[in-house]
Amino acid sequence: MTFYIKKEIIELLETDKRFRGGLSFSLGVVDRAIYNFILKYKEKPFANSNLTKKAALEYFKTEGFEEDQVLTQEIPVF
């Protein structure tokens, strides 16, 4: 199956530095890597990205998001 990150999560990552920083820590990358990913994703969303990895989904859960609030099978439109 192919999964995409929902538009709302991408926008939250783009605007909330604390949220983005927590995710970057969970994935073991620098904050700028997440931000660059967001810019690329907004140009052309792609399926099964680093943000659909187990570590990312676990981080989203700790922030109060359920999997269905984060993932979608439809290509998001920005």
Residues 29-58 have pLDDT tens digits of 999 999 999 999 999 999 998 889 999 999
Confidence band (pLDDT; 50, 70, 90) for 73? very high
CB 57 within 8 A of CB 46: no
Q: Does residue 48 belong to any structural domain of this protein?
A: yes
Q: Which helix (H) or strand (E) holds 5?
A: strand 4-5
pTM of the model: 0.90
pLDDT of 3: 94
Total domains present in the chain: 1
pLDDT of 38: 94
Tokens of 23: 């995710």
Mean pLDDT, residues 8-22: 96
Q: Does residue 59 belong to any structural domain of this protein?
A: yes
Q: CB neighbours (10 Å) of residue 46?
A: 12
Q: Does residue 66 belong to any structural domain of this protein?
A: yes
Q: Does residue 77 belong to any structural domain of this protein?
A: no
11 pLDDT more than 90:
yes
Domain residues for the domain of 17 are: 4-72
Q: Does residue 24 belong to any structural domain of this protein?
A: yes
Q: Does residue 9 belong to any structural domain of this protein?
A: yes
Closest CA to 42 of 63, 12, 22: 12
